[in-house]
Amino acid sequence: MMSIIFNEENKTFHLYNDTISYIMTVLPNGTMGQLYFGKRIRPRGEYAHLIEMQPRAMGSYVYEGIRTLSLEHMKCEYGTYGSTDYRFPAVEILQENGSRISEFCYTSHTITPGKPKLAGLPATYTEDDSEAETLTLVLTDRVSGVQLELLYTIFAHGGILARSARFSNIGNQTLHLLKAMSLCLDLPDCDYDFMHFSGAWSRERHVKVRHLESGIQSVGSMRGHSSHEHNPFVILKRPTADEFQGEVLGFSLIYSGNFLAQAEVDTHDTTRILMGIHPEWFDWKLVPGETFQTPEAVMVYTDRGINDMSQTFHELYRSRLARGYWRDRPRPILINNWEATYFDFTEEKLLTIAKTAKECGIELFVLDDGWFGQRRNDRAGLGDWKVNTDLLPDGITGIAEKIEALGMKFGLWFEPEMVNKDSDLYRAHPDWILSVPERNHSHGRYQHVLDFSRKEIVDCIYDMMADVLGTAKVSYVKWDMNRSITECWSHALSPDRQGEVFHRYILGVYDLYERLTSAFPEILFESCASGGARFDPGLLYYAPQCWTSDDTDAIERLKIQYGTSYCYPVSSMGAHVSVSPNHQVFRTTPLHTRANVACFGTFGYELDLSRLSEDELCQVKKQVAFMKEYRALLQFGTFYRLESPFGGNITAWMSVSDNADRAVVGWYRTLNAVNAPYSRLRLKGLDPDRLYKVRVDDRLIGEFYGDELMYAGLVTSDGSSGEILDGQKPSCDFDSRLFILEG
């Protein structure tokens, strides 16, 4: 059940469903005020008691002689700086007279079933109008002639509210939009912990927690993409909240470019959350008649802990953000040749790896970097998306057919947004890269960024990619992006539009994705940006899975995948078994642990299987068979975090089927112990009245009811807890087990 109620008499809006209420009102000066966001409260006629206006010393007031209405002390719906509100604003518009003052006053509104699309941008969607309802508030700044539409979509179930803003220049001035946030939310207190997910290449999305204090805490990116360093997702939680109880608010931006997520606490303990395109280097020229649409931000509220918030995001992003043929399908088990060969491959070597993979039951062979142009190292060839027939004599068509003849599908790597200077494309079009005249051309990985703000460049790349995909049996595309943007300047835009390049670039990326996924709807696209540098909701709209990190070490992946799971579903996480010692951290880990981590993801292998021993190949065959049997549960089941790698030596998580008749529990120990305590793990999400058979390593360890497993716990003690008994498997560093529950 959901509803959007408008009280005409007091100009108050109440959006609610079975979980949440969101209440706002028109303030005395015509702007919008925020009254409440949280657990559902019963609808009533008015909420005037939530509007508090009291004269304060040193206060600034909207109306001459009236010492009550000060926006500094109000909870505003879409804050504007300079007219008594001194907090960071949601919007800033430079007008022809040099003023940046705005006052957006309520004009009208519409309430419509379903959810409208956002032009040129990814967003959540509905398949039936009964799934959601959308409020569009129309506000107008009479001086500048800007019309602001604030869009709010409340879904029928769950604590979800999707928000965005649309600016239209209906006046006669030429304006510059300098700040246009997707979300502004003022909360009445500051008793929250601020959680964000930060790191760097190969250690993405590590969990960071700090308590809110007066001042500003923020994360963001000005790298041209959402970045390894920070993710466009933050959490506010009450200090007493944990995974399974307490108030939690999640904020996620469906965008892949520069972003800002900020919490500002004023000295009266009001908290303002802002989320949207980063205002640094953003300047959008808005001429009369033009419109600018912000990306969508999604807010989730729960009073049942962080895990419930995560499950809400998982379900929404898995089924109403991801789209297309592969949205609901278990993902194929793949092998990628990159860490097996890097650039040093021949067709014969590739086919040898593929044949061994087929014998192990693997379903998809992916040819990574190095198949095109003069690409024999990372200094040449990017941009020339034509097969190198010296390497592949029969072209992509030929090797794809040979892989298909083995009984496998074929996948291919691209990095369409980049170019090497040593390439035919650059030699023909040196002005196609983002670069500033007379300035140095910085490089990353010896490559430069194509100016995807220009349609002719996107068209050229599309034509080359479509030619390959349209003539060969390609079932999967890995779309990589291996550097951040520098010298962000377009040779095709006027000086007063250079502030648009970062955003226009991302719109160009989205346009290329949209065209390719529409032309080749059954190809599985996996996004990648040196691993996790663009693991964000924006790309899930086009590619239902993303390469989670270039770090394939199982122990490092525990933290990376655990942190990623706070917002993103398991079905979105590319996770592979790689060689040991690992190529990133040179750690030696057991083969079973590498697989036990990777199976909580889309699953595949990134090594040369032909170099494994017979015993190791036997293990791989069992791993593949296990994944085929349980991948639907692992990728689409309800996911629970049980023990955090950020808090100790043990990591644990589990996936439970929709009717709770099956579950897979992953248990991981980083370092072995001696004479260790006995240990139990309390499970979640089971049917308390169901009797479960519990297996580990194909061995039945007992039958237990769901209530016992959840409240008394699953015994996880092993040979480290005392002397090893006859027939008992010794424990080791980097050990792991999968517990299979069936009832």
- Helix (H), strand (E), coil (C) string for 236-253: EECCCCCCCCECEEEEEE
Pick from 238, 296, 232: nearest CA to 259: 232
The amino acid sitting at 408 is: M
- What's the longest Cα–Cα distance across the chain? 88
Catalytically annotated residues = 480, 550
Distance from C-alpha of 548 to C-alpha of 567, rounded to nearest angstrom = 13
Strands 524-527 and 476-479: parallel
Distance from C-alpha of 725 to C-alpha of 669, rounded to nearest angstrom = 20
Distance from C-alpha of 6 to C-alpha of 19, rounded to nearest angstrom = 19
Burial group, residue 380, by CB count within 10 angstroms (0-12, 13-18, 19+):
middle
311 vs 124, 159, 569, CA distance in Å? 16, 11, 8
Quick check: 675 and 653 in contact, CB under 8 A? Answer: no
Helix axes 614-636, 591-598, angle to 10 degrees: 20
Q: DSSP string spanning 267-303? A: TT--EEEEEEE-STT--EEE-TT-EEEPPEEEEEEES
Residue 93 makes CB contacts below 8 A (sequence gap 6+) with 100, 102, 141, 144, 146, 175, 176, 177, 178, 286
Token output for 705: 């009811």
Q: DSSP string spanning 538-586? A: HHHTT-SEEE--S---HHHHHHHHHHHTTTS-GGGEE-EEE-SS-TTT-
Query: How wide is the angle at C-alpha 543 spanned by C-alphas 207 and 503, nearest 5°?
Result: 75
Left if phi > 0, otherwise alpha if psi is -120 to 50, otherwise beta: which for 446?
Answer: left
Quick check: 611 and 353 in contact, CB under 8 A? Answer: no
Paired with 16 in beta bridges are: 3, 21
Pick from 657, 280, 695, 247: nearest CA to 499: 280
Count Cβ atoms below 10 Å from residue 614 Cβ, excluding itself.
7
Q: DSSP string spanning 201-243? A: TTS-SEEEEEE--SEEEEEEE-SSSS-SSEEEEEEEE-TT--S
Q: Which residue, chain included where needed, has tokens 């609808």?
A: 43
Grouping H, G, I as helix, E, B as strand and the rest as coil, residue 165 is: strand
Grouping H, G, I as helix, E, B as strand and the rest as coil, residue 331 is: coil
Grouping H, G, I as helix, E, B as strand and the rest as coil, residue 425 is: helix
